[in-house]
Amino acid sequence: MTSYSPLHDPEKDAHVGVPSLRQAIDRAREVLAEKSRANIHDQDEMIRAAVGLHWVLLDLLTALDAERVVR
């Protein structure tokens, strides 16, 4: 048992919506550009960047998995 709450637990957290692959790629590019301006010396900004990138990566992988099922 951990003494913290994980950012994401795939066994407990269902993915609510699956974006199209194009939407997921566009959003990943937007967030990557946005987070690239974060101050590496600011712990709060780094945490927000990590969380934001985590969620867009999760969406991107979910969209890729859905695309594979369709093909």
Write out pLDDT tens, residues 5-57: 777 676 666 667 889 999 999 999 999 999 999 999 999 999 999 999 999 99
Q: How confident is the model at residue 67 (pLDDT cuts 50, 70, 90)?
A: confident
Asked if residue 8 is part of any domain, the answer here is: no
User: Residue 1 domain-assigned?
Assistant: no
Across residues 58-63, what is the average pLDDT?
A: 93
Q: Is residue 49 part of a domain?
A: yes
Whether 5 is covered by a domain: the verdict is no
Domain count for the chain:
1
Domain-located, residue 51: yes
Within-domain flag for 15: no
- Per the structure, the complete domain to which residue 66 belongs is given by 21-70
Could you identify the residue written with the tokens 């709060």? 44
Residue 55 lies in a domain: yes
Q: Give the pLDDT band (50/70/90) at residue 69.
A: confident
Residue 1 has a pLDDT of 55
**The Cα angle at residue 20 between residues 16 and 25, in degrees rounded to 5:** 105
In this structure, the number of other CB atoms found within 10 A of the CB of residue 21 comes to 15
At 22, list the tokens. Answer: 């194009």
